[in-house]
Amino acid sequence: MHYRLSADPTLPHYIAVEAYLAAITTPAVELQLPAWRPGRYELQNFAKNIQRFDIVDGAGKPLPFHKITKDRWRIQTNGVTELVARYNYHALLATPYQLNAGSSFISDTLLYVNPVNLCLYAEGRIDEPCTLEIGVPDSWTLACGLKQQDATTLLAADFYELVDCPLIAAPVLQHIQYTVGDTPFHVWIQGGRRTDGAPTFDAERIQRDFRRFSETQLTLFGEFPEEAYHFLTLILPVPYYHGVEHRTSTVLVLGPNDEGEGLYQDLLGVASHELFHAWNIIRIRPAELLPYNFTRENYFTTCFVAEGVTTYYGDLMLRQSGIFSDEDYLKELQVLFKRHFENSGLAFQSLTESSWDLWLDGYEKGVPDRKVSVYHKGAIAALILDLHIRRATNHTRSLDNVMQQMWQQFGKPFIGYTLDDYRTITELVAGESLAWYYDLCIFGNEPLQPKLNEYLAWVGLQVVQEEPIAEQAGGIRLLELDDAGADGLLSRQHQMRWFGNPLTEPAHEGQAELVSEQKPGKDVVAK
């Protein structure tokens, strides 16, 4: 299918869409608009944003059609071999922020499109190649992970690739490049100016820091899944924090543009998280999501792996690459612990239940003490597992080995994994049954603070609940244990092994041996 996107000639904030389908051989065609987008596991019903819709043949003559579901149309072809769906899409959110990392937006100075929002596909032809033509001035810069046929035309191998490659086009985009191994990385920034006119970010600092955490992640997995990667970054004048992962790119939406160092720390955190997704969920994908079914819910129980493990590694990679100091990383850990224990530490649902119910209300607060965050509790569960494996093997193995095995068995061959697959690999790496871990951390709903503190003590840390006093608010606080003796020194050494880059240390001496034992074989939310 060929698509053309442009500004609606009469209505502001609408994107005009023309979708051309050729080589028709059937008496009827069904066109489907996705009901949800990868990275956000809830129905979003994008069809509600379509104002007008009509179908014509190649000569411009109307064809009869009717709507058969909320986002599906059946067209009587009357013997024609090609048709054009013509419609417009309202690209302005009903919020003061006007856009997020999963939406689309159009103005006089920006075209930002997530194709999954507004591109139809023909039933039975979702695997066919697609082209996407962008109606913007030739002087504008276009940034996208798709291959370009020319300055304004993009190519996709199929609909799955098309809708997993957002784009931004604008008169001015800041472009920062770096390379890791043979892989080029591109950082595109729109709106990257403070109100005083100065750049929001230091380009050299971005280049240096992004290269460091990219190298650390690539070293962990041993290779990068794609030929190139793009960080599509939108800076707003209001507070915002959102990122969405894609096959060859990520969209990052941050603000406010005048925040300074805090905004840069947010950029590092969300960028590292989303890059880790290039392996974990984009390629290391649950079997229930392979392939995506865009018409309905795709229920799965392992979002704690997809999002929780990624949340854990996003900040850890910044520490292990040397971008974050110990203090920086411990600060992020405290934020993580506060979000879970103060908001849902006593929640009824387990991680597997909350993974499933993302499709119900997972991105809303919901009723008190019902669900947990697969991001926050999932990251804490990942931390406990990592420290358990390290303690049991004296750092010769870790959660890194688990993710390497997941990549080799499921991600690299691109076959879906199950919860049982993940459990099998974690127990193989640990060298023992992890029934206690799954019963408590994954299938259970008992508070995790006692078990977490057991493992944090091994690295000289502890989570405490402090009562409020005049000088400071109470709540969850992460403390470093004050022990100057032999035990304290040993705890600090364990912490250094955890915080350091274990891939340059003996921590992975068992990696090659472990691989040989295996048969060859898968949305950061606003703060």
Mark out the alpha helices in 122-260 (DSSP H runs). 159-162, 203-221
Q: pLDDT per residue over 275-291, tens digit each?
A: 999 999 999 999 999 99
> Of 44-58, 89-103, 348-362, which range is least confident?
89-103
Convert the pLDDT of each residue in 73-96 to its tens digit. 999 999 999 999 999 999 988 777
- The answer to whether 243 and 252 are in contact (CB under 8 A) is yes
d(CA 53, CA 78): 19
* Residue in 142, 113, 145, 140 with CA at minimum distance from that of residue 3: 113
Selected residue with higher pLDDT from 492 and 16 = 16
Q: What one-character-per-residue DSSP string does 297-319 give? A: ----S-HIIIIIIHHHHHHHHHH
Cis peptide before 12 (omega within 30 of 0): no
Q: How far apart are the first and last CA of the chain?
A: 38
Q: Please give the model's pTM, rounded to 2 decimal places.
A: 0.93
Which band of pLDDT confidence, cut at 50, 70 and 90, is reported for residue 484? low
Produce one character per residue of 170-197: b if its CB has 16 or more CB atoms within 10 Å, e if not.
beebbebebebeebebbbbbbbbebeee
Query: Whole-angstrom Cα distance, residue 307 to residue 120?
Result: 28
pLDDT tens-digit profile of 123-146?
999 999 999 999 999 999 999 999
Which residue type does 146 have? L
> Which positions ≥6 away from 301 have C-beta within 8 Å?
352, 355, 356, 419
Q: Which two tokens stand for residue 178?
A: 């770096």
Mean pLDDT for 25-44 is 97
Average pLDDT, the chain: 92
For 355, what's the count of Cα atoms within 13 Å in the CB-facing half-sphere? Answer: 21
Q: For residue range 299-345, list pLDDT tens digits in order.
A: 999 999 999 999 999 999 999 999 999 999 999 999 999 999 999 98
Q: Kindly report, residue by residue over 15-29, the tens digit of the pLDDT.
A: 999 999 999 999 999
Position 502 scores a pLDDT of: 42
Question: How high is the pLDDT of residue 303?
Answer: 98
Q: One-letter amino acid identity for 162? A: L
pLDDT-derived band at 504, boundaries 50, 70, 90: very low
Which pLDDT band holds residue 525 (cuts at 50, 70, 90)? very low
Task: State the pLDDT confidence band at 503, using cuts at 50, 70 and 90.
Answer: very low
b (16+ CB within 10 A) / e for 372-406? bbbbbbbbbbbbbbbbbbbeebebbbbbbbbbbbb
